[in-house]
Structure 1
Amino acid sequence: MPRRVTGEALLNEAELIARYFAPLAGAGGLGLRDDAALLAPPPGAEIVVTADALIEGVHFFTADPPDRIAAKALAVNLSDLAAKAADPLGFLLTLALPRDWTPDWLESFALGLGEVSREFRCPLLGGDTVSTPGPLMLSITALGAVTAGKMTPRTGAKPGDALYVSGTIGDAALGLILRQAQIDGAPAPDWAAALSTSQQAWLVTRYLAPRARLPLVLALRACASAAMDVSDGLVGDLRAMMRASGASAKIDLRKAPQSEAVMAALRADSRLFERIFCGGDDYEVLCAVPTGAAARFEALAASAGVPVTTIGTVGPALTGDIFIGPDGEPVMFRQERFSHF
């Protein structure tokens, strides 16, 4: 949806907020008529805070649907809360709008934001709206609550713990390739011919519309020793969690969960292996679970409707991380983690 102004008068900031964003506000947002929000944390809970910024041309394409841009911006923050075993309380939005925005574009943006906000009971609490001569930028700060002492940190993995990942890995990384071809009007990569139309659509949707794994919160809170969301690639993010925990991991990538679409693409082009495991935007949950709690974790995850797969174990730091590839031998990667820098 184009943002280009076609002569229609634009709203001022107060009118813009009242029309598009006040309907998304929860009680703590005070109708977005004040300079701050007011929250009362649940008894016995600690507050978890996370923030992510998205910039046009870096984190999303200009031609992406505005409702998907907004929904993804909130979902990636909720993914961080999920990995910390926190229930959402609300979010703050900072939106820097280029001067060519239109009411239609912003209405669609607000609809997408509201869709995710309502689904996960995470109301808008406030924020800021400004004009910019540069590209569109939005930043969301999400707040969550977790029972005191029950947050799952990145730092808690212990030798002997089992390592699990939710969902499937690599869909969004391949979806980004297909989306780039759509935007450029270029032919799809050769491996795409091995995929059905629905499989290609699945990959693109996984890139455009990630889902936060908030239903997994209770399982993490009850069983996990460490967790983080997989935003920049399974291999790199797992290494980051091991470094933070002062531990190492042995991972059998043959066990890593993959969708039918990813498996078909990999059969067509084995060079996609690194992209699948080192690309970004999965927004699945990676966690460490003591072996004595593994059965309960799996049962709670199943009850929540979230598929989880064990892919390896935690070892002592001096061992070093080992990733087992398709041939059963250790594999090395040239670029282990997606980076926007």
Structure 2
Amino acid sequence: MPSAKPPAPTPSAPSTAPSEFDLIRRHFTRPTRHTDLAGGDDAALLRAQPGMQLAVSTDMLVAGTHFFADTDAEDLGWKTLAVNVSDLAAMGASPRWAFLALALPAADEAWIAAFAGGLFACADAHGVDLAGGDTTRGPLTLSLTIIGELPHGAAITRAGARAGDELWVSGQPGLAGLGLAALRGEARLSAAGRTACLAALHRPQPRVALGLALRGIATAMLDVSDGLLGDLGHILECSGTGAIIDVAALPMNTLRETGADEWLARRCLLGGGDDYELLFAAPAAKRAEVQTLSAQLGLALHRIGELTSEPGALWLREDGGRLVRSTPSGYDHFG
């Protein structure tokens, strides 16, 4: 007797989860400003201006290393782009194109939409096109490559400083470090102080206008991402100079107003990192120009020391003129 015919398979319901390409089209596709072809093909087509040099930088943010896993997604979107824009500001370059690579634990559309909102808010603020990228499943990792433009030979590197140059830093370094200390329960801040410090930590403001204006004035520059003293060490190494930091000239008052104790405020200013302010050297003869820029941009620029001819030597000039040897150490991912 012939066996019974097996029942026809029941068609499975179509999946309602968005595909990788749906997510890209829905959340990361926008009109562009400087790009002939962005996304949806094997490569982007960029439109570089004649006579311009390209500046390229890449940063990666990893959950548990660079941010807490519960950090607001919109803030993360802003910061992922902002820290890269800051790298271009530190070279005196105009940001133009970004390429985003995301590893996501799940296709959480609400989280992705908020992240994209923060990313494009920063992109709109600085005229950046999202020109391409990639997504995959994995531990939450945010990686972004940015490309900018500047005239040939106009880049401000870390290697041009000379003994006798003055050292300047923009804005208010130390706030982001205090914000991180507050999240870790290591700092007791006032309500207003906590708000200001967390804003600095989660929504850094790249100093693009300052970076552009310092072309032809600054001899060396970088952004403060791993701590002021640690990042200063890169300028000293690349330029073959030393430095003296005048402790009395450090911008401490705003940090004191947060409610932080003096020791913690000073530690965060000198070594906290995540500030993305610009630290630069400029000849003493350019001091008036730097001060004029400060007024024009509405941005505090603090003259905090000078460079010396003693390669690699870093000194702090304490109250009364006493010199104390310091070490230009900052955050180290493998330290």
- Which TM-score applies when normalising by structure 1? 0.88
Identity of matched residues, %? 36
- Relative to structure 2, which stretch is displaced further, 315-324 or 108-117? 315-324
Map of 1:5 onto structure 2: none
**2:6 matched to which residue of 1?**
none
Q: Deviations over 1:267-301 (max 9, x none)?
A: x3525532331111011000011122221122123
Range moving further from structure 2, 25-34 or 226-235: 25-34
Q: Could you tell me whether the CA contact under 8 Å between 1:51 and 1:142 is conserved in 2?
A: yes
Counterpart in the other structure of 1:20: 27
Q: CA deviation at 1:138?
A: 1.1
Matched, 1:258 2:264: no
Q: Deviations over 1:36-64 (max 9, x none)?
A: 11122222211100110000110011110
- 2:117 corresponds, among 107, 111, 117, to 111
Q: Could you tell me which amino acid in structure 1 is paired with residue 179 of structure 2? A: G
Match of 2:8 in 1: none
Deviation at 1:315, TM superposition (A): 1.1
Match of 1:154 among 158, 164, 168: 158
Whether 2:117 is the aligned partner of 1:123: answer no
* Other structure's SS at 2:216 match: helix
**CA–CA distance in structure 2, aligned partners of residues 309 and 325 of structure 1:** 17
Letter paired with 1:159: A
- Is the alpha carbon distance of 1:261 and 1:300 closer, same or farther for their aligned partners in structure 2, counting shifts above 3 Å? closer
The one-letter code matched in structure 2 to 1:156 is G
Where do residues 89-238 of structure 1 align in structure 2 (5 Å cutoff)? 89-99=96-106, 101-132=107-138, 135-181=139-185, 189=186, 192=188, 195-238=189-232
Match of 2:306 in 1: 313
Query: Offset at 1:218?
Result: 2.9
User: Structure 1 unaligned runs (5+)?
Assistant: 1-7, 182-188
Q: How far apart, CA to CA, are the structure 1 residues paired with 2:253 and 2:55? A: 32
Q: Is the 8 A contact 1:29 1:124 kept in 2?
A: no
Aligned counterpart for 2:286 among listed residues 287, 290, 293: 293
Instruction: State the secondary structure of the residue aligned to 1:32.
Output: coil
Q: Counterparts of 2:258 and 2:24 in 1: how far apart (Å)?
A: 46
Give the alignment partner of residue 64 of structure 1, picking from 63, 67, 71.
Answer: 71
What residue number does 2:56 align with? 49
AA paired with 2:310?
A
Q: Is the alpha carbon distance of 1:326 and 1:78 closer, same or farther for their aligned partners in structure 2, counting shifts above 3 Å?
A: farther
Using a 3 Å threshold, how does the CA distance of structure 1 residues 89 and 130 change in structure 2: closer, same or farther? same
Which secondary structure state, in structure 1, belongs to the residue aligned with residue 137 of structure 2?
A: strand
| 8 A contact 2:168–2:281 mirrored in 1 | yes
Indicate the SS of the match to 2:87: helix
The separation in 2 between residues aligned to 1:28 and 1:264, in whole angstroms, is 43
Deviation string, structure 1 residues 26-83 (Cα, Å, up to 9, x no partner): 4516242212111222222111001100001100111100011111111001111001
> What is the match of residue 267 of structure 2?
274
**Compared CA separation, residues 255 and 282, structure 1 to 2 (3 A):** same
Residue 235 to residue 10, structure 1, CA distance change in 2 (3 Å): same
Paired with 1:27 and 1:285, the residues of 2 have a C-alpha distance of: 26
1:149 to partner: Cα distance:
0.9
2 CA distance for matches of 1:52 and 1:319? 27
C-alpha distance in structure 1 between counterparts of 2:96 and 2:75, whole Å: 22
Offset, 1:169: 1.6
Corresponding residue for residue 237 of structure 2: 243
Residues 24, 306 of structure 1: alpha-carbon distance in 2 compared, 3 angstrom cutoff: farther
Query: 1:33 aligns to what SS in structure 2?
Result: coil
- State the SS of the aligned residue for 2:35: helix
CA contact (8 A) 1:88 1:120 kept: yes
Residue 185 (structure 1) aligns with = none
> Hey, which of these two has a bigger chunk of helix by percent?
1
Instruction: Specify the code of the residue in structure 2 equivalent to 1:12.
Output: S
Please tell me whether the aligned partners of residues 256 and 262 of structure 2 are also in contact (alpha carbons under 8 angstroms): no
